[in-house]
């Protein structure tokens, strides 16, 4: 048996393994969609490709066995099959990526699917929150938690998270730290507070640790506190 024929047989085996692998993945994709509660059916193109792939993988496997076990040579047929496999697998990969992406997008849970803010005016809630943050400066409390702020607003923590996430496009910590950074930016340039260290000013602004303060300040301003002072001196 010459080396060229052995090489072609190995190509058969590689493609058979590849096709069988995609068959398993396709089966998993279809089952995931079938097992979900919502009635979303797999696309017809994906089901068609899966069926063709299984049939073709079986055919190629039989052809490989015939050439290996029964010594039936078919060089021309081999070239044709290899060409078809290259085209088929390429198209299949593209289709599988679309199928997997659609599946993962489908099973991704939607946050706040059932809104709890329907009974309360969002504008009123925003005004109340501004009063607490701007006028009363509740963020200066280093121990302020989401539960505390929700209690002040007379809403649940879930409602507060929903409002902050959807209306303000940030998290509770990001919101509080934003106000703390704005507060300390004024203190850093206040000559009457030059006697205080940067760490002391950070504590006055509500930060419990220097590491958190320096990280948040750099993220929001792009500068360290010392650089900010020099730029605005």
Q: What CATH superfamily classification does 122-231 receive? A: Homeodomain-like (1.10.10.60)
Nearest alpha carbon to residue 168 among 160, 145, 89: 160
Asked if residue 99 lies in contact with residue 42, where contact means CB atoms within 8 angstroms, the answer is yes
Q: What is the pLDDT along the chain (233 residues), one digit of tens a residue?
A: 555 555 555 666 666 676 667 666 665 655 554 444 444 444 555 555 666 666 666 666 666 666 665 555 554 455 545 655 665 666 656 655 555 454 444 434 445 555 666 655 788 899 999 999 999 999 999 999 999 999 999 999 999 999 999 999 999 999 999 999 999 999 999 999 999 999 999 999 999 999 999 999 999 999 999 999 999 97
Query: Any idea how long the chain is?
Result: 233
Spatial separation of the C-alpha atoms in residues 180 and 215, rounded to whole Å: 13
CATH 1.10.10.60 spans which residues of the chain? 122-231
Report if pTM > 0.85.
no
Cα–Cα distance measured from residue 44 to residue 16, given in angstroms and rounded to the nearest whole number: 24
């Amino acid at each position: 048996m010459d080396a060229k024929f052995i090489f072609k047989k190995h190509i058969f085996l590689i493609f058979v393994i590849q096709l069988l692998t995609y068959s398993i993945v396709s089966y998993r994709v279809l089952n995931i969609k079938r097992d979900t509660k919502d009635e979303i059916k797999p696309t017809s193109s994906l089901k068609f490709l899966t069926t063709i792939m299984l049939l073709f993988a079986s055919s190629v496997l039989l052809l490989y066995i015939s050439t290996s076990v029964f010594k039936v040579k078919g060089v021309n047929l081999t070239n044709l099959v290899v060409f078809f496999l290259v085209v088929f697998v390429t198209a299949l990969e593209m289709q599988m990526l679309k199928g997997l992406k659609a599946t993962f997008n489908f099973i991704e849970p939607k946050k706040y699917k059932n809104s709890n803010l329907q009974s309360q005016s969002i504008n009123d809630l925003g005004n109340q929150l501004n009063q607490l943050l701007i006028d009363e400066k509740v963020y200066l409390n280093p121990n302020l938690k989401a539960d505390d702020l929700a209690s002040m607003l007379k809403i649940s923590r879930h409602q507060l998270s929903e409002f902050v996430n959807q209306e303000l496009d940030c998290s509770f910590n990001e919101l509080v730290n934003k106000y703390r950074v704005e507060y300390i930016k004024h203190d850093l340039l206040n000559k009457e507070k030059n006697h205080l260290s940067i760490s002391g000013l950070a504590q006055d602004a509500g930060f419990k640790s220097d590491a958190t303060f320096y990280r948040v300040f750099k993220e929001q301003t792009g500068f360290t506190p010392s650089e900010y002072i020099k730029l605005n001196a």
